[in-house]
Structure 1
Amino acid sequence: MEKNTTIRAEIEKYIQREGISMQCFADASKVNPGTLSGILNRNPPRPISVNQLDLITGAMGLEEGALFEMYVDECFIHSLPHWRRLRPFLLRCSELNKLECICSVLGYLMDDLSNIPAIFETAEAMFEDDRYEAAMLLYNCVIESEKYTHSERLAISYFRIFQIQIKDNKRSLKAAVQFHLYRGRLPETYALEGLHMLSQVFALKMQWSEMEMYADELRELAQALYRNRNRFGDEHLELLKPLVYYYAQGHLLKASCYEFQGRYEESKKWIDGYADLSWFEGLDEEGRKVVDMHRVYAQGNRLCIEIKMGNTSAIYEYITYLREHPDETLEGLNTLLESANRFGYFVDAELGLFSQQLKSFWELAPDQWDTHYRKHFNAFRFASFCKVYAEYHFRKGDYAEGLGQTLHCLQLSVDNSYTEHIIGCMALFEQHRNFATPEQQHLYQKFCLGVRENEKNHAYDHSTGGYL
């Protein structure tokens, strides 16, 4: 298609080239003949709706969105845009992933700050339709243009970007750091979810003080909302998940924070806070499921603490628990291996009971790990498992398998920027380098180059201990 041409010129050329009448083209495109005549003959041409543009594009045999660049130029750059056409066009661009067209329109709209509310509302519509990359363009536009720093709209925009980028381990920390300053300005509908997400992200980064801080804020806000609901009778508080879920998670995350730091007695006290929530008022069916789910978590986590404290008499009960709750297998075997390495015992027989599950972890791609954990949390815990399993094999003198598990952990950690695991794996490999085969040496060098690439592509933030 020629540059500097117009939609009207392209339609006219098509009609002339095909040797058809305007009526024939109107019939083929299903555009009203009078409307088509206004587009082709009126001066200035009659404005074209997005739907009409799609019909015309299809009748001309062009790819969907082929005329969008011209549409931007004619309807929004060189003429006064109207949101009656802007919104449908931006939404259609998001469907077709025409991100450059969206950027072109936004570049023009940002000159007029009165457009910001409509841009935000359109971003919300894109988010609801899972058009995340397009929505991020609009949310960033709101962030750059919003002049009121206490604006709820600004806080929600940061929250939405955090929601989108939390699924990408390489971008989640940066999104968390940007969002956390605005967490107190979110409406109650999103505030609990935002705090929950922050605590999870910093758990993955092993930043325990930050994880604990947000877990405390989550628990305190959930308690305050619960008290207010019971006091003022507000039974219609709109949240993304049941209120009891956030209350329980506030306690669970606090307990986990102490557990990961080896503060086991303190962790036990916080497990009690979510073990039995049947007293929680206003539970619906979904809320009762949350209560039951956390009762199961508490049972497993109490056993987990006993194992980590070296209480081997709890192993049989823990194995029974893991077999009854296969979604907990990865975390459970991680716990067994950590304890075995710490206290100097072996769990070969116990590991043998889960040989099929272990095999499936190595065979499945990360996006196929379908448990209640998110994809990147699975990858993180599996990397942790490979590391402790490597240490376990080194203790047994099985250096080939130990080095293999070390390299597996290193690969996952480099791919996902798990800084702490990268450091640990490199130390393990160097400690046992003399036992490595030439193939293992080659893989190690390859993964080390991957670490260097991460340093080039992602600025390292020493304050948070991770790549941004």
Structure 2
Amino acid sequence: MENQNEIDNEVFLLSDHVHALDKGFELFRLSYRQNNWEEADRVANHILSLAERMYENKKKWGELVIPLNQMLKRPLIFYFGYGFLAKSIVFQKHGLFDLAREYIAKYADLGWYENATEEDIEEIERFKGFAKANGYAVDLLSGKKELLKEYIDYIHEYDEETLPGLITIFEAANLNEWNIDEYYYSSIPEQLDTFSELEDLGNRVYYVKLLNQLAAYNLNQRRYDVAIKYILDYMQIAVTMDLYREFITTIGMFENVRNLATTEQQIRYQNILQEVHHEKSISSYIYADDIS
């Protein structure tokens, strides 16, 4: 398996015509997939620093920098929004919710961008939508259970928010020790089969992250047979997607309930483990006591 330095080199050695901001965008997505938050923070800082330099040059020199900007795949304002969003995600993953909110506020209001084109304005409005969704997420993760129904209504209104929204809901439940069985039983069984059929990489990453949270949730509710199924489903997919950081936390989940697994499940587990050679402690989101 590639180590992280090899992954970094792979991204930054993209062909010369790919702009550094677009390389940074792809590298952050890779760091997100790997749960490598130290690297993700470094990349987010790089994106914001470079976008700021380009913006100042654009204000100073105007049309002289247009050829450089044309190398970008997206409008320059996008990279400001994405950089702020990336920083908010890093702080969110570290449990620093107040700092996450500060950066959410930054990409909720990008109206300071001068001489905005119609395309720029579309991006500004798009990031306002992201800010609303991620504001809900941070509030739930920080323990505001009273917003759960409102958030559920929100993600049902916007199809693109459903899968990441479910991850947030169960991550919040695991982090705050909530029992949300009523929602679990009414929503997950009917939606999970649909999610399993999604083929693009972004949705596959979301799908396996949801499986990870569902495994944790069912362990916390002491439904070990269900949890084991989610653990093995997750591992079967994650091993093909380089999701090794979460993969190892999931090994920890399985080992904690290994004596409860069927012979068939034990064999499946051993077959999956033949493909990896890593160790990591159990996810901090598992709050159940040690299971004997």
**Pairwise TM-score range, normalised by the shorter structure:** 0.7 to 0.9
Question: Which residue number in structure 2 is paired with residue 392 of structure 1?
Answer: 217
Aligned equivalents of 2:103 and 2:46: distance in 1?
A: 15
Aligned equivalents of 2:37 and 2:73: distance in 1?
A: 26
Aligned equivalents of 1:357 and 1:418: distance in 2?
A: 23
Aligned equivalents of 2:5 and 2:163: distance in 1?
A: 24
Question: Which residue identity is paired with 1:290?
Answer: E
Question: Which residue identity is paired with 1:357?
Answer: Q
Larger RCO of the pair (alpha carbons < 8 Å, separation 6+): 2
Question: Which residue number in structure 2 is paired with residue 205 of structure 1?
Answer: 34
Aligned equivalents of 2:111 and 2:122: distance in 1?
A: 11
Q: 1:312 aligns with which of 107, 123, 145?
A: 145
Aligned-residue offset at 1:176:
2.5
Question: Which residue number in structure 2 is paired with residue 111 of structure 1?
Answer: none
Q: Secondary structure at the match of 2:147?
A: helix
Q: Does 1:430 align with 2:255?
A: yes
CA 1:291/1:431 → structure 2, altered by over 3 Å: closer, same or farther? same
Q: 2:101 aligns with which of 268, 291, 299?
A: 268
Gap regions ≥5 residues in structure 2: 279-292
Aligned-residue offset at 1:213:
1.3
Aligned equivalents of 1:355 and 1:284: distance in 2?
A: 44
Aligned equivalents of 1:218 and 1:378: distance in 2?
A: 24
CA 1:429/1:353 → structure 2, altered by over 3 Å: closer, same or farther? closer
* Per-residue Cα deviation, 1:170-196 (whole angstroms, up to 9, x for no partner): 69973522554x79x967x71211122
Q: Does 1:449 align with 2:277?
A: no
TM-score normalised by length of structure 1: 0.54
CA 1:433/1:172 → structure 2, altered by over 3 Å: closer, same or farther? closer
Question: Which residue identity is paired with 1:336?
Answer: I
Q: 2:45 aligns with which of 216, 240, 246?
A: 216
Query: What percent of counterpart residues are identical?
Result: 25
Aligned-residue offset at 1:271:
0.8
Aligned equivalents of 2:118 and 2:30: distance in 1?
A: 29
Question: Which residue identity is paired with 1:387?
Answer: N
| C-alpha RMSD over aligned residues | 2.6
Aligned equivalents of 1:270 and 1:329: distance in 2?
A: 23
Question: Which residue identity is paired with 1:210?
Answer: E
Aligned equivalents of 1:232 and 1:313: distance in 2?
A: 50
* Per-residue Cα deviation, 1:216-260 (whole angstroms, up to 9, x for no partner): 111111112112212222273312110011111111101111111
* Per-residue Cα deviation, 1:39-89 (whole angstroms, up to 9, x for no partner): xxxxxxxxxxxxxxxxxxxxxxxxxxxxxxxxxxxxxxxxxxxxxxxxxxx
Q: Does 1:361 align with 2:186?
A: no
Q: 1:246 aligns with which of 61, 79, 85?
A: 79
Q: Does 1:348 align with 2:181?
A: yes
Greater CA radius of gyration, 1 or 2? 1
Q: 1:421 aligns with which of 230, 237, 246?
A: 246
Question: Which residue number in structure 2 is paired with residue 174 of structure 1?
Answer: 6
* Per-residue Cα deviation, 1:345-390 (whole angstroms, up to 9, x for no partner): 222333324654323013x1x52x4xxxxx1x33233222112211
Question: Which residue number in structure 1 is paired with residue 136 of structure 2?
Answer: 303
Aligned-residue offset at 1:266:
0.8
Aligned equivalents of 2:208 and 2:5: distance in 1?
A: 19
Total equivalences in the alignment:
274
Aligned-residue offset at 1:342:
2.1
Aligned equivalents of 1:307 and 1:256: distance in 2?
A: 14
Aligned-residue offset at 1:206:
2.0
Question: Which residue identity is paired with 1:385?
Answer: L
Question: Which residue number in structure 2 is paired with residue 226 of structure 1?
Answer: 55
CA 1:172/1:326 → structure 2, altered by over 3 Å: closer, same or farther? farther
**Contact 1:173 1:201 (8 Å CA) reproduced:** no
**Contact 2:35 2:246 (8 Å CA) reproduced:** no
